[in-house]
Amino acid sequence: MILSVASGKGGTGKTTVAVNLALALQPDRPVHFLDCDVEEPNAHFFLKPVLEKSREVLKLIPEIDKGRCTYCGRCAEICAYNALAVVKDSVLVFPDLCHGCGGCRLLCPEDAIREVGVRIGVVESGRAGGITFAHGRLDIGQAMSPPLIRAVKEERNAGRVVIIDSPPGTSCPVIESLKGSDFCLLVTEPTPFGLHDLELAAGAAKEMNIPRGVVVNRAFLGGGDGPVRDFCSREGIPVLMTIPFDRRIAEAYSRGETLLDAIPSARQEFRELFERIERTRS
């Protein structure tokens, strides 16, 4: 199973759920943990993996052969990200807008485009006990993370339960993280902002036809999780787990410790969460 943990809103506890679920499945189930929040990966603070390998990741940027180009404008026409502009006797390339999809090269009628690699970050991999681990680190100043997220996902081991810690939001990096997932676990909190962004994230997963379930973190914060449950009921999304608003969890988090360190009895609850995911998916 490929399980993506997403949130819509940042700071809801997405990494907390992903990390503790991976730990709770040990040693019975082999897990491959992929931290795809490449702009600020933080799962390694809690899993403390021994990183054994590192490789550079390049984004392919179009380069125009002026001797062959007829300035027909086909490349700019097909670019969904406006990374190319054709003006008189010139093609302008905007590298920060390019997603490296290669469409312009494939569809150029004069074969006047080649691609050159530009480094955007690194993928580091290793092990954290019985958990196989990989994460990406986007280089400072780089604006385009989806190619690096794709590189992190290439590390996945099909023989293991794959847990993907997705970036927050619902933009391109999140969509790239969710692609190919068998299930999307949405983490939210019982606040107006949490509910608003849950609606967006749930809508994105629905558009991608990925089965969904919800974990309510910091449950009972601000008086209760009724609005979140009402939304889930209307949309037919099961609430699979609630995590209490508990000072012990926050204190452990601040020390780089896990929820399971703070509340060892929660291990069984996370195991039951995974069993509910399997039943919901089937």
pLDDT (tens digit per residue) in 183-207? 999 999 998 899 999 999 999 999 9
State how beta strands 2-6 and 113-128 pair.
unpaired
Would the pLDDT of 144 be above 70? Answer: yes
Query: So what's the pLDDT on residue 157?
Result: 86
What is the mean predicted confidence (pLDDT) over 36-56?
96
Cβ–Cβ under 8 Å, residues 130 and 26: yes
Omega of the bond leading into 27 within 30 degrees of 0 (cis): yes
**Per-residue 3-state assignment (H helix, E strand, C coil) for 116-157:** EEEEEEEEEEEEECCEEEEEEEECCCCCCCHHHHHHHHCCCC
Strand order in 183-188's β-sheet? 50-64, 113-128, 131-138, 31-35, 161-165, 2-6, 183-188, 212-219, 239-244
Q: What is the dihedral of CA 123, 96, 87, 90, to 10 degrees?
A: -50
Would the pLDDT of 46 be above 70? Answer: yes
pTM exceeds 0.85 for this model: yes
Query: So what's the pLDDT on residue 223?
Result: 63
Query: So what's the pLDDT on residue 139?
Result: 96
Query: So what's the pLDDT on residue 36?
Result: 97
Domains in the chain with CATH codes? 2-57+122-281 (3.40.50.300), 66-111 (3.30.70.20)
pLDDT (tens digit per residue) in 154-173? 999 878 999 999 999 999 99
Query: So what's the pLDDT on residue 174?
Result: 96
Q: What is the DSSP letter of 102?
A: -
Query: What does the radius of gyration of the chain's CA atoms come to, in whole angstroms?
Result: 21
Would the pLDDT of 1 be above 90? Answer: yes
Mean of pLDDT over the chain: 94
Query: So what's the pLDDT on residue 222?
Result: 61
Query: So what's the pLDDT on residue 29?
Result: 93
Query: So what's the pLDDT on residue 220?
Result: 76
Strand ranges inside 76-223, DSSP E: 84-87, 90-93, 113-128, 131-138, 161-165, 183-188, 212-219
What is the mean predicted confidence (pLDDT) over 97-124?
95
pLDDT (tens digit per residue) in 71-106? 999 999 999 999 999 998 899 999 989 988 899 999
Q: Which residues contact 1 (CB under 8 A, 6 or more apart)?
A: 161, 162, 182, 183, 277, 278, 281
Task: Specify the residue for token string 């299930």.
Answer: 183
pLDDT (tens digit per residue) in 207-265? 999 999 999 999 876 667 889 999 999 999 999 999 999 999 999 999 999 999 999 99
Other C-beta atoms closer than 10 Å to the C-beta of 111 total 11
State how beta strands 31-35 and 131-138 pair.
parallel
Instruction: Report d(CA 217, CA 183) in Å as an integer.
Output: 19
Calculate helix-pair angle for 266-281, 14-24, nearest 10 degrees.
Answer: 100
Would the pLDDT of 39 be above 90? Answer: yes
* pLDDT band at residue 281 using 50, 70 and 90 as cut-offs: confident
What is the mean predicted confidence (pLDDT) over 116-145?
95
Q: Which two tokens stand for residue 15?
A: 């990494």
Percentage of residues of the chain with pLDDT beyond 90 = 88
Instruction: Report d(CA 125, CA 152) in Å as an integer.
Output: 9
